[in-house]
Amino acid sequence: MKFFIRIATIAASFAMLAFALHLTTPISGAQNAAFHNAPASAKSAKNPFQGQDAEAGHSVYQNRCAACHGPAGEGAGNIPSLTAGKTQGASDGELFWYITKGDLNNGMPSWEGIPEKERWEIINFLRVLGGSKPGSPRVRLSAEEAVATAAEAPAPKAPFTDYRYEKPGVTRKITLADLPEPFATSSSGNGPQVVARPENAWLQVPAGFKVELYASGLNDPRLIRTAPNGDFFVAESRKDTILVFRGITADGKPQQTETFATDLHHPFGITFYPPGPNPQWVYVGNTDSVVRFPYKNGDMKATAPPEHIADIPGGSGHVTRDVQFSLDGKKMFVSVGSASNIDDPDTTPAEKNRADVLEFNPDGSAMRVFAYGIRNCVGMALNAKTGELWCSVNERDALGDNLVPDYITHVQEGGFYGWPWWYMGGHQDPRHKGKHPELQSKVITPDVILQPHNASLGMTFYDGKQFPKEYAGDIFAAEHGSWNKSVRVGYELIRVPLHQTGHATGEYEDFMTGFVVDNGHVWGRPVGVTVAPDGSLLVTDDGSKSIWRVSYTGK
């Protein structure tokens, strides 16, 4: 609905422009080879965002273009395909010119109303839709091509892996010495096609554990967090809503479900303040602010409108914001991902105070940067044993299948984690050659190096009593799954064993797998994970739009 209203407004304003153009543009003579008669200046215009994370344009494309051109640019009826032919033959500049002006008489709206950057980003994404161009990171596999790719692909070389070899209980360890050179392979556009869970498909966990479906039919379940009284708070980011689930019935379902709050702004992070058994507030990380609601144990609906606590950098790019308090309740941490794949913050104002963990007083005052160069810390958790803040981080794309690894790490105050000029091990990103030599030695090696492109999202420390003793204090993290890898990886819940020390050794373990149908199709994508009062784990999944429960039965 919203979508069509917007189109209508843009279309109406373009109608007037088109009229003016019509009067002043001479009728062109013979057809030339230019795309929709684009002027020569359009053809040669350079895409300032060429080579950057094509995924940035994905959501804009879905919101603005997919309704007509199809989710994969396939076209329909008299709406042209964008994956081949004319569009892929046009230069970026010609496409920019055409998209900006539209062709209202023929049903193509003008997009001059959306920011220039977004128009360029859509074009990057159109290239992904269009398939490979030699030497470019824009390689898009259709679901069918992806299936064939995996059929032909050799087994991955350890310690790297892919979905075909993920198996509950397998331990993995990646070290800096394992990292390939940048561009050792080409870079793939291999986003999944999400399909309904096939009959008989189920999740696999180590022996002694079992998986049940706790809740289904949700809209967009993302972060999940357990309140001190044992209720489960779930952010439905796209719906701007926070839900609350209470209890687990004998057949493994919620006893009660409520909507805690609506009309938020892409909420993600949820945390309770002050820390301890009797919170007075629940804090929520919107994409551009932190707000809080008065809260007492047992509330399932907000009793007052949200109070604005702090503005945080919003805008395009990574939209999730997690919020956590230090164990003593004196510091509030907010994780803010980058606006882009690898834009230089020195020259890109939109990157200011992004790719950081920010620190505030609990009332939202005195913002400072706690740690920087963390491209996208989606999930945060406090380690009760050490008091340290930990992050689950998405690293950058388009350097090849096995670069740059995602990671999970404790976060050092003032620490620099590399982005965008460097990456782990003091490696310079080739796209920022020669910049910031003084930072090379400062790049911190993260505690646990994960598979590149895994998309590591929510994390939690296991403080339950149900699992065997060796799980006490371990980390569980949700790996949403890759798009930038030729054979997909991730799409699993992992365990990071801390061996009761509070510290990681660098290893992690596949824990719950089975979301992938084949290299082109998946039926689920884990996002958040939390520990229930009975010691089971609840895992949100925005692919099948449900919540899974993993418990230990010993059988």
Nearer to ligand HEC (CB atom), residue 93 or residue 109: 109
Q: How far is the CB of 140 from ligand HEC (least distance, A)?
A: 15
Q: Collect all residues with Cβ–Cβ distance below 8 Å to 164 and sequence separation of at least 6.
A: 150, 155, 487
Pairing of strands 521-522, 193-194: parallel
Q: Does 99 bind ligand HEC (CB under 6 A)?
A: yes
Residue 51 CB, nearest approach to ligand HEC (Å):
19
CB of 288 to ligand HEC, least distance (A): 23
Q: Which is nearer to ligand HEC, 68 or 148 (CB)?
A: 68
Nearer to ligand HEC, 127 or 410 (CB): 127
Residues 489-548 touching ligand HEC, rule: CB under 6 A, are none
Give the shortest CB-440-to-ligand HEC separation in angstroms.
40
Angle at 339 between CA 336 and CA 345, to 5 degrees: 95
- The Cα 428–Cα 30 span in angstroms is 51
User: Is residue 96 close enough to count as binding ligand HEC by CB under 6 A?
Assistant: no
What are the φ/ψ torsions at residue 82 (nearest 5 degrees)? -105, 5
Q: Which one of the spans 95-103, 285-293, 365-373, 466-474 is the region binding ligand HEC (CB under 6 A)?
A: 95-103
Supply 398's token pair.
Answer: 């388009």
For residue 267, whether the previous peptide bond is cis, meaning omega lies within 30 degrees of 0, is no
Give 80 or 543: the residue with its C-beta nearer to ligand HEC: 80
CA distance 552 to 535: 9
Cβ at position 237, least distance to ligand HEC in Å: 23
| Residue 38 makes contact with ligand HEC by CB under 6 A | no
Determine the Cα–Cα distance for residues 213 and 548; give it in Å rounded to an integer.
Answer: 5
CA 447 vs CA 353, 451, 455, 496: distances in Å: 24, 13, 17, 10
**Residue 332 β-bridge partners:** 325, 360
* Cα–Cα distance list, 309 to 261, 291, 364 (Å): 16, 5, 5
Using the 8-state DSSP alphabet, how is residue 55 labeled? G
Count other Cβ atoms within 10 Å, centred on residue 9.
12
Nearer to ligand HEC, 13 or 257 (CB): 13
Q: Cis link prior to 533 (omega < 30° from 0)?
A: no
Closest approach of ligand HEC to the CB of residue 50, in Å: 16
Binders of ligand HEC among residues 100 to 129 (CB under 6 A) are 103, 106-109, 111, 122
Q: Which of residues 47-86 bind ligand HEC (CB under 6 A)?
A: 64-65, 67-69, 79-80, 82, 86
CB of 83 to ligand HEC, least distance (A): 10
- Positions touching ligand HEC (CB under 6 A) are 7, 64-65, 67-69, 79-80, 82, 86-87, 95, 98-99, 103, 106-109, 111, 122
